Amino acid sequence: MSAPDGPRLVIGTQSCNVLVTSSLRLDTLGMGSVGGSTTSFQLNTADDSKAVKIFLDLESVESAFDLARNKDAWTVSRRNILCQLRQLRSKFHDASTYFLCRASGYTTRHHVSQPYSVFTLINFDQSRPGSGAAAGSIFKTIAIRIIKEGENAKLYLSTLKECRGQCGDTKIASILDAMIGLFSPETDSIPIIGNCQLNTQLEILAGHMSSFLATANKSALAQVEHSFTHTSVAHP
């Protein structure tokens, strides 16, 4: 599937389209893909697509059925909560954006093999104080507040000012200045859900995180390739 930021690998089902954010070909040598874009799987015609076979991991299928039967379930797993947020860069004012529904295969369950998103970029081990870390910190804070507080979640002025202090004179700094401008003199917090003005700035901010995410995902790709190499050696 074509997208502005590159081709995407999407698996269509009767209930939804599944975006693949981490992939590695085992039938040929070449780089894998981690992140929203996938360049290693190119299906040029409808006939190419019809020739594809999809194999499911039995343990994952059984876990999925258990999850579907559990009416109290609100997350795919109790571990790596933020990693379960989808690879989205828009609609941050919509509660559905924060549904915890992204899952990983057995071999890549460890957090270092997970594709980074705007919500997890701050966890990148090589992250340094600066614009990328500041932007990542804001999105992580927003995600945590919504997961804990739901539609009552708020973004605090103190959070933005602290992150703004890390940026220097950058484009991200100007975006944070615009976000700070959304606060009236007598308020120290603003709602996140339903706040279209805040969403506009968050979407712009997310757009400026692409280069930071690409760097982080190179690290994740190395871990994915290592996982499959290690698995092939341990289980010939």
Tens of pLDDT, residue by residue over 186-231, are 999 999 999 999 999 999 999 999 989 988 888 888 887 777 776 5
Position 114 in a domain:
yes
Does any domain span residue 12? Answer: no
Under a CB-based contact definition with an 8 Å cutoff, are residues 144 and 136 in contact? no
Residue numbers of the domain that contains 158: 74-234
Has residue 216 been placed in a domain? yes
Range 35-59 average pLDDT:
77
Closest by CA to 104, choosing from 91, 122, 125, 120, is: 120
Predicted pLDDT of residue 148: 95
Asked whether residue 11 is domain-assigned, the answer is no
Q: What was the pLDDT predicted at 79?
A: 80
Q: Is the dihedral of CA 65, 13, 217, 144 positive or negative?
A: negative
Higher pLDDT, 185 or 23: 185
95 assigned to some structural domain: yes
pLDDT of the residue at 127:
55
Give the model's pLDDT for residue 235. Answer: 41
Helices vs. strands in the chain: H and E counts, helices first: 7, 6
Over the range 2-26, which residues count as b (16 or more CB within 10 Å of their CB) and which as e? eeeeebbbeeeeeeeeebebbebee
* Torsions phi, psi for 9 (to 5 deg): -100, 115
Spatial distance between the Cα atoms of 119 and 125, rounded to a whole number of angstroms: 14
pLDDT of residue 233: 42
Is residue 30 scored above 70 in pLDDT?
no
Distance from the first to the final alpha carbon of the chain: 34
Span 159-195, pLDDT tens digits: 999 999 999 889 999 999 999 999 999 999 999 999 9
Total count of residues recorded for the chain: 236
pLDDT band of residue 114 (cuts 50, 70, 90) is: confident
How buried is 113 (Cβ within 10 angstroms: 0-12 exposed, 13-18 middle, 19+ buried)?
Answer: buried
Q: Are 210 and 21 in contact (CB under 8 A)?
A: no
Does the pLDDT at position 35 exceed 90?
A: no
Is 5 a member of any domain? no
Strand ranges for the chain from DSSP E:
9-12, 17-20, 22-23, 33-34, 154-156, 189-191
Question: Residue 63 falls within a domain, yes or no?
Answer: no
Question: How many structural domains comprise the chain?
Answer: 1
The mean pLDDT value for 151-156 works out to: 97
Inside any domain, residue 16: no
Q: How confident is the model at residue 76 (pLDDT cuts 50, 70, 90)?
A: confident
What is the pLDDT, as a whole number, of residue 219? 86
Alpha carbon distance 42, 2 (integer Å): 11
191 strand-pairing partners:
154
